[in-house]
Structure 1
Amino acid sequence: MSKYFSLEGRILACTGLALAVGTTLPWLGIYLGLGPRLSWIAGLLLGVILIIVLIRLALSPLTTTLKSLQNGLLNFRDGDFSISLVPPRDVELQQITNLYNEIGEHLRRERAHIYQRELLLDTVIQSSPQALILVDQSEHIIYSNSSAKKLLNEGRPIQGLLLQKLLPNSPKEIASAIEHWEDGLFNYSDSNGTHSMHIGNSTFVLNAHKHRLIVLREMTKELTRAEVEVWKKVIRLISHELNNSLAPISSLAHSGKMLIAKPDKSAALEKVFDIIAERCKHLTEFTQGYASFAKLPPPSCREVNWRELIERIAPLQEFSLKGGLPEHPGYFDPIQIEQALLNLIKNSREAGSNSLDIELAISTDGLGQKLVITDRGCGMSEKILQQALLPFFSTKEQGVGLGLALCREIIDAHGGRIQLLNRNGGGLQITLWLPWAAEPTPKG
């Protein structure tokens, strides 16, 4: 019957058949001598039972299909899209099951597509030279790539570990930067030598929970390539400056030689010598800047009174002292550190910072001495921040790029480290860290 009637038609047919039977049975009972009252009661009961049975039989395909749909939707909820329903013979139910099967097939294709994209993305991330760490709000590492495992845990898995338990196994400079959410360029040393690392932190919300993404980029090779380019640039610059001075000097020397043979040309000859002296002075100043960088002597470390250091710097550059001074004297080369501080304070002022916003904070602990200079200047872009410590790199039109590079050389020679960070709200923070037992680093 389900083949020729719709579900609604079968229910109506069963109801009509049951009513017909129910009205016929009382007359049959009267004919058999059961009495009118008893015949009508019996006929009514039998009619009701017959209606229930027939409707149940008519609805059987519907209940079966609904049960299958329920099981299929439960599988959807569990992420299983592999089950398809067998279409029943009813046209209406066929439409429902066909729609379910189409949705299941679509979800299967979508999941396969997403899985392929996730696999591709994971392959790219795992092969990336940048170390990536994803940390949830409870400080557990929920994702990392191969570079992060190699850098922070000697290649061992770190997923599921607490970030704080992982940091003691990492280089101390990187561990400190991660712990304090610092962004910028850092130097660290291991058995393979000295490395430069750029660290970036960002936060985002995933599944209604806050997550932190830490990206660590090895900059040693990039800086080495940049240094080669810088050396090419400085060679061109020196050649240009020498030619600009030597060519007129040669010409003036020839003119002076001609003037010597002529009487009453002493004034012109004096002017020639003045110009030659001026060009020689320019060349001397130009080369002295490079000589101070190339011939930096090893630091002569001794105990230094912090108050005396501040009093020597204060008349030369305006700044504010943040906090008090340590009671324990410092230990470093006072001439070199004084030069580094003067260069950094001068850079802060030239970056547009008000002198009142340039602050120097000094602190010490059992490991070393920390000098922090902060300003409210223009700061640095990420690209400039990655190259700021390179020799001869400068964003100034007339700059030669020796200030920060000289500071880096001084701090490295003391066995310390220098860090450049952009501040929230604008400006730059430069941290100089010096160990107590400074061992001069030989210049290569």
Structure 2
Amino acid sequence: MVWTKVPDLFSFSLRQRLLLLLMLTAALALAAHAAIAVWPLPAALAWAQQHWGWTWAAPPPWSLASLGLSLALILPLLLILSARFMAPLLRLLRALEGAVLSYRDGDFSLSINATGPEARGELGDLLRLHNELGVALREQRQQLAQRELLLDTVVQNTPLALLLCDEQGRVAYANIAARALLAGGRSLTGSLLSEWLALAPEAMRSALAERQDQLFSIEEGGMEERFHLSQREIVLQGRPHRLLLLRRMTHELSRQEVASWKQVIRVISHELNNSLAPISSMAHSGAELLRRGQTERLPQVLQSIGARAGHLHQFLSGYAQFAKLPQPHLEAVDWSVILGSLAAHQRFVLEGELPRRGARFDAGQIEQALINLIKNAHEAGGPAEQVSLRVECPSRQHPQQLRLIVSDRGCGMSEAVLSQAMLPFYSTKRGAGGQASGTGLGLALSREIVEAHGGRITLAKREGGGMLVSLVLPLR
């Protein structure tokens, strides 16, 4: 730490010294005027006229001549006194100026030593506050340096590949994982990202060129490696930058895939057992009735077997439909035709007017999604006449979005159910015996359909009870 010594400044406060300077100025001005107009100048001129014959005479006391002579006499004295009085203050201001300039350049080590008389009064308080500011800035800078070091250590050693590029496409920052992925560990800073991508696999080049979040796969070491790409546009130091995050997803997706298959197997096994066990029991009962010749009860037994087999067929068809959802075929739709076909399957109340502007989507798939949602709304336990559908036209806030909103006045969902409601195989429906009666595929299938159209589905609690389910579709 460097200390700049300021000479003795003031034994009085600044206000006292200014008052003293004004009083001395007034006293000197009166003394000078009295010397010119009263004594000794008039007496000296009279003696010179008597002995030497001079013709000069003293000016009248309040004439311009006397006032001008007084000013000519007092002005040099005032300049000397003001310079004497202001010299310590000017030296202090120069010291403060040097300290502020060092702060501007990022050097907070300069402090001003204020001991003795100069430590009193307003300037002493100013010096103490200045030194306290220097100490606070030094501590904050040290803390920021430690945080930056910690953040850089974390970012450099994370397995997530991080790249920051400026608006010209030059790499401004790259961590260890990014350098290993793109340049074999060599430095990327300052080079064009396009130069390194020219050496990268085609899938990676295509993903980065599209400027949107996505999954892609490349071959590494003879094995397929899957990555998740996340891209954001940010402003750094007033300039636009592009932040790229590349995350390896192969192991995580493999674990999720295995967990999903296990869950599918558990659900299907549970449903098969629930259906096959009664079928086996009823088949045994039918055979026993036939052996006894009691054929009058056989139609009822066979009908029960057929019902359970039909339920099992419907259950397996739902899984097959979810697994084999085709790509949507986009075409212009007629709202009256869509809603008429939908009304033939499910009962609902249409709220508001239909939009005049047409839309393009796969009518069959969107109709299936709405059928699932309206069916869920009826099964929520509310009045059937409170199940409604509303088609919201694009607004100023969302000019390229179309919303289809299904609402009900049922029992709603808890926060725990809301967080998992759109997961495949998750169902809260219960049958008469307390067993799960739903497949948990209705919302999941609707979400798959909407996301295949480039949209999204949202769930929200309705004020006053019930649910609001919104399908948000992009206008094309």
- Shorter chain as normaliser: what TM range? 0.5 to 0.7
What secondary structure does 1:84 align onto? strand
Distance 1:293 1:96, change over 3 A: closer
Q: Deviations over 1:309-350 (max 9, x none)?
A: xxxx99xx86449xxxxxxxxxxxxxxxxxxxxxx9976664
Unaligned runs of 5+ in 1: 297-312, 322-343, 354-374, 379-391, 405-418, 430-444
Q: Which residue of 2 aligns with 1:58?
A: 85
1:305-324 aligned at under 5 Å gives the runs 319-320=330-331
Provide the C-alpha distance between the structure 2 equivalents of 1:350 and 1:119, rounded to a whole number of angstroms.
54
What is the Cα deviation at residue 236 of structure 1? 1.1
Provide the C-alpha distance between the structure 2 equivalents of 1:394 and 1:206, rounded to a whole number of angstroms.
44
Letter in 1 for 2:25: T
Unaligned runs of 5+ in 2: 1-8, 49-53, 60-64, 333-361, 372-400, 405-422, 428-437, 446-450, 457-470
Distance 1:219 1:346, change over 3 A: farther
Q: Deviations over 1:345-399 (max 9, x none)?
A: 976664459xxxxxxxxxxxxxxxxxxxxx9899xxxxxxxxxxxxx95689647
Provide the C-alpha distance between the structure 2 equivalents of 1:213 and 1:106, rounded to a whole number of angstroms.
33
Provide the C-alpha distance between the structure 1 equivalents of 2:208 and 2:453, rounded to a whole number of angstroms.
13
Letter in 2 for 1:165: E
Q: Which residue of 2 aligns with 1:49?
A: 76
The answer as to 2:21 corresponding to 1:11 is yes
Provide the C-alpha distance between the structure 1 equivalents of 2:425 and 2:126, rounded to a whole number of angstroms.
71
Q: Which residue of 2 aligns with 1:70?
A: 97
Distance 1:17 1:171, change over 3 A: farther
The answer as to 2:187 corresponding to 1:160 is no
1:121-132 aligned at under 5 Å gives the runs 121-132=151-162
Answer yes or no: is the 8 Å Cα contact 2:29–2:70 preserved in 1.
no
What is the Cα deviation at residue 96 of structure 1? 2.0
Q: Which residue of 1 aligns with 2:285?
A: 255
What is the Cα deviation at residue 286 of structure 1? 6.8
Q: Which residue of 2 aligns with 1:111?
A: 141
Q: Which residue of 2 aligns with 1:149?
A: 179
Distance 1:394 1:239, change over 3 A: closer
Aligned length: 339
Provide the C-alpha distance between the structure 2 equivalents of 1:427 and 1:132, rounded to a whole number of angstroms.
32
> Which structure has the higher relative contact order (CA within 8 Å, separation 6+)?
1
What is the Cα deviation at residue 423 of structure 1? 5.7
What secondary structure does 1:111 align onto? helix
Q: Which residue of 2 aligns with 1:85?
A: 112
What is the Cα deviation at residue 284 of structure 1? 7.4
What is the Cα deviation at residue 79 of structure 1? 2.0
What is the Cα deviation at residue 289 of structure 1? 9.3
Q: Which residue of 2 aligns with 1:435?
A: none
Answer yes or no: is the 8 Å Cα contact 1:230–1:393 preserved in 2.
no
Q: Percent of counterpart pairs with the same letter?
A: 34
The answer as to 2:246 corresponding to 1:216 is yes
Letter in 1 for 2:268: I
The answer as to 2:295 corresponding to 1:266 is yes
Letter in 1 for 2:219: S
Letter in 1 for 2:229: I
Q: Which residue of 2 aligns with 1:301?
A: none
Letter in 2 for 1:238: I
What secondary structure does 1:216 align onto? strand
What is the Cα deviation at residue 84 of structure 1? 0.9
Distance 1:110 1:78, change over 3 A: same
The answer as to 2:237 corresponding to 1:227 is no
What is the Cα deviation at residue 275 of structure 1? 4.7
Larger radius of gyration: 2
What is the Cα deviation at residue 240 of structure 1? 0.7
The answer as to 2:274 corresponding to 1:244 is yes
What secondary structure does 2:273 align onto? helix
Distance 1:159 1:348, change over 3 A: farther
Distance 1:64 1:422, change over 3 A: farther
Distance 1:118 1:70, change over 3 A: same
Answer yes or no: is the 8 Å Cα contact 2:212–2:230 preserved in 1.
yes
For the aligned residue pairs, the C-alpha RMSD in angstroms reads 4.6
Provide the C-alpha distance between the structure 2 equivalents of 1:55 and 1:108, rounded to a whole number of angstroms.
37
Greater shift, 72-81 or 12-21, is seen at 12-21
Letter in 2 for 1:74: L
What secondary structure does 1:85 align onto? strand
